[in-house]
Amino acid sequence: MSPLRQALDDYLTMRRRLGYKLERAEKLLAQFLVYLDEVGADHVTVEHALAWARLPADSDPSWWSFRLSVVRGFAAYLHALDPAAEVPAAELLPWRRRRATPYLYTDAEIAALLAACASLRFPLRVTTYRTLLGLLAVSGLRVGEAIRLDRGDLDLDRGLLLVRDSKFGKSRELPLHATAVRALRTYLRRRQRLQPGPQAEALFVSLAGTRLRYSNVNWTFLRLVRRAGLEPRSATCRPRLHDLRHSFAVRTVLDAYRADSDVQARLPLLSTYLGHVDPAATYWYLSAAPELLALAGQRLERYLETRP
């Protein structure tokens, strides 16, 4: 094993012990080391980092910036061990990430997405995607959390779902509504009939009986979006998988407002349910919902009317 390869293994091990997943970073840094080997370099330089980061040449500048940021973290680690390793400055290939405007799904749009699953080619894919999207809509799970679920993480008798080692190494237990439990029970029966011997322990499986991959799930989702007739609401507001989670959060708080519940008391519970480390992340989820702002304004008006 080359010294750089060993250093990369040590770097990834250290960061993962701090709670980082680094799945994409590991792939990119491995590619960067292959590039260094091809150009005959035995240590990291700013010149090589920039040249590699700008590949492919027709990519979006945001992708270049991300690639360089991955190398920058590794280079900083190397520099602490070997001053010859150069660290690309933060000013190189700058790009400020802008959050997409959330696409808040209506109940009718979610129903249309689930109905569009019938257009998929094989019965197993139909039932898998219908159940997966339905679970995302009613639980607020991250997509990665859902496809990492194992069959043993679902307790149908108690109506509980165990989400293991998610973001920042956190695990949590989610209670499910009885209708969600019934849908998952039905899926497992159909899955057993259509794919009797899955190769993986995964809850949601592919036609080959293996765990679903995010790239395939996202590709299929975009196909279902077109089939369901969902259109972008603006250049920055397009239907995304992650927005099922966002929509769940907003609907939960809307229900609390409509029931005249103590919303502030429920927000920490929602934050825990969603698996947020910082409640501020939950507040951001709610900031782009005009209906929420309107209900909050109405409650404020009622409060002010009771004051002298």
Point out the residues that are catalytic. Answer: 142, 167, 242, 245, 276, 285
Terminal C-alpha separation, the chain: 77
Q: In terms of C-beta distances under 8 Å and separation of at least 24 residues, what long-range contacts does 37-46 make, across chains too?
A: 37/2, 42/3, 42/4, 43/4, 43/78, 43/82, 43/84, 43/85, 44/4, 44/71, 44/74, 44/75, 44/78, 44/85, 44/86, 45/86, 46/86, 46/87, 46/88, 46/89, 46/92
Q: Please enumerate in sequence order all residues whose Cβ is within 8 A of that of 278, keeping only pairs 6 or more positions apart, or say none.
A: none
* Contact call for residues 230 and 240 (beta carbons, < 8 A): no
Selection from 157, 188, 155, 187 nearest residue 173 by Cα: 155
* Contact call for residues 75 and 87 (beta carbons, < 8 A): yes
